Structure 1
Amino acid sequence: MTLTQLEIFSRVAELQGFTSAATRLGISQSAVSHAIRALEQELGVELFHRHQAQVELTDIGQQLLTRARGMLGLAATLEQEAADARGMKRGTLRIGSFGPSSSIRLLPPILAQFRSQYPGIEVHIDEGPDRQVLQWLEERRIDLGFVVQPQERFDTFALAEDQLVALLPAEHPLAQEPQVRLEQLCNDPFVLTEAGSSELVSRLFIGAGLKPNIRYRCSQLLSTLETVARGDALSIVAQFSLPQGTDPRYTNRPLEPTVQRRIAIAVLDRRQSSPATLAFIDLAQRLYGQAKPSILR
């Protein structure tokens, strides 16, 4: 059994296909098939159910995938520690990011400085809803992820405080209010952004014993903004997620009472994190210290 076989196995499982895995890895499909067959023969078990268009993990394959990702993560950490001894001239860093709050507002300045200081570190970024970033962390698909605290099952490093705001059409009567209460958002049609803080927003209404009139569910923030801009619905979004330019068709107002959202970087286990991961976290915390809110504007 080799690390290369485990890497191929992990990629086939992730992409659910030999062809797509071969494309992503930059090798031939026959090389992927050979590696999987050899691994199955060595272990004496079938790892995948083969279908025409895709493959599916067997029960034992699912169990072994977690172990394989753990071994690959430890191997990457060993490589990074060796690279650290050489001045971190080579290596890979895998980052999970959710939505505009982290991908557009927080991540770019960190990346710019990180690439300047460590040009030999290859950075991979995967975007998904916040709950998917948590899944990627658990499955060791990424080295670190941007998350919303609290996250007790991970080691987290606070970056910045955000708040939820009411998103309103510019002509809506509530747009004239300095603050908006949750119950005031329950009469009009409501749009829920699935890719954003949907779970936090849902818990907010449930905790208050309220039920919004959800008419729309959008997977992208841009769709939510457009729905509100047309005057079709109201919403609640994170302030960091809003575009930094102005659009006269909609506005936002703080909630009453204020609802804070703390954004952090999370790792599965700090003690097993690679030097590149720890260097990224250190740089991010120095850039986005809680005492430096002006950077976030």
Structure 2
Amino acid sequence: MTFTQLEIFALVAELGGFTAAADKLGISQSAVSHAIRQLEKEWGLTLLTRGQAGIEATEAGRGLLLRVRELLGVAEAIRQEVSAARGLNRGVLRIGSFGTTSSLLLLPRILEQFKASYPEIDVFVEEGEDDEVAQWLAERRVDVGFVILPDERFDTMPLVADQFVALIPAAHPLASQPSVRLADLCAMPFIMTLAGNTSLIEKLFESAGLRPMVKHRYAQIITIVKMVESGAGVSIVADLAVPAPLMALCPGMVKKPLSPVVGRSVGLAVPSQKHVSPAVAAFLQTSKSMVKSLRGGSLGGL
């Protein structure tokens, strides 16, 4: 068993194909196949099989894949610490991000400062829904991720406080009220966000014993905003997902706090604070400093 074989195994499972893994590693497909065969022969297990979506890990392979990714993460951390000791600050950083709050408002500003301070660190970003990012963290597919707090599965660092708001057509009678109850939103078509927080919003209604009339489901916040403005329905999203510049583009829509207020907290998470690489530690520190400097101003009331 070699680190190269483990890296190839993890990459084939992640990308779903031998060719894709070979292209990313810059080696031949036969070399990838040979590495997998040698690993399976040594372990006496079938690690990969062909499924409907391509090559995927077997049940035994999935169980080992988590440990393989942990081991590769430790190896990467050692390489980064050696580079830091030599004054090179090189390495790889994989970030999981979701929705407007992290991908649009927080991450670009944090990365701008991070890349200025650590230009030799190679950064990769994967965007998905909030539940997906948490899953990627658990599977060690990303090193650090934006999450909704609290999340007891990981070591976390709070970044920003937020709340949920109702999006209402400006011409609707609810638009003149200071706040909106969940029950008020059940009397008209509801637009459910798929851009993050879907499960949280569903639980809000469930806990209140209510069921919204979901007629639309959209993954893009701009689509949700424009559909509300057109009068197609109402929605609930995170306040930071609809910042002032976006509101200015949609004068036919207003946002109102929920009554009672429903808050949320967004932060960064790592599988274990004790085993973070120098690149992750630097990203966490940069994020903490950057968000502190932005509070009360350019992020719309953070």
Fold shared by both chains (TM-score > 0.5): yes
SS at 1:210 equivalent: coil
Q: Within 5 A, what are the aligned runs for 1:180-259?
A: 180-245=180-245, 246=248, 247-259=250-262
Q: How much does 1:98 deviate?
A: 0.4
Residue in structure 1 matched with residue 8 of structure 2 by the alignment: 8
Q: How many residues align?
A: 297
d(CA) in 2 for partners of 1:98, 1:56: 25
> Structure 1: where are the runs of 5+ without partners?
none
SS at 1:296 equivalent: coil
d(CA) in 1 for partners of 2:51, 2:255: 49
138-147 vs 44-53, which moves further: 44-53
- Indicate if the aligned counterparts of 1:159 and 1:290 stay in contact, CA closer than 8 A: no
Residues 1:180 and 1:17: Cα distance change in structure 2 (over 3 Å): same
> Structure 2: where are the runs of 5+ without partners?
none
Residue in structure 1 matched with residue 56 of structure 2 by the alignment: 56
Q: How much does 1:132 deviate?
A: 0.4
Residue in structure 2 matched with residue 267 of structure 1 by the alignment: 270
TM-score when scaled to structure 1? 0.95
CA RMSD of aligned residues (A): 1.8
Residues 1:88 and 1:230: Cα distance change in structure 2 (over 3 Å): farther
Residues 1:215 and 1:37: Cα distance change in structure 2 (over 3 Å): same
Q: How much does 1:88 deviate?
A: 4.7
d(CA) in 2 for partners of 1:22, 1:228: 46
Q: How much does 1:257 deviate?
A: 1.6
Residues 1:284 and 1:52: Cα distance change in structure 2 (over 3 Å): closer
Residue in structure 2 matched with residue 17 of structure 1 by the alignment: 17
SS at 2:89 equivalent: coil
TM-score when scaled to structure 2? 0.93
Residue in structure 2 matched with residue 292 of structure 1 by the alignment: 295
124-133 vs 45-54, which moves further: 45-54
Residues 2-43 of structure 1 show CA distances to partners (whole Å, capped at 9, x for unaligned) of 112111111111122112222333333222212211211222
d(CA) in 1 for partners of 2:197, 2:288: 23
- Identity value in percent: 50
Equivalent residue for 2:282, pick from 255, 279, 284: 279
SS at 2:27 equivalent: coil
Q: Within 5 A, what are the aligned runs for 1:72-83?
A: 72-83=72-83
Residues 1:130 and 1:43: Cα distance change in structure 2 (over 3 Å): same
Residues 21-75 of structure 1 show CA distances to partners (whole Å, capped at 9, x for unaligned) of 2233333322221221121122222111236972232221111111111111111
Residues 1:114 and 1:169: Cα distance change in structure 2 (over 3 Å): same
44-53 vs 123-132, which moves further: 44-53
SS at 1:164 equivalent: strand
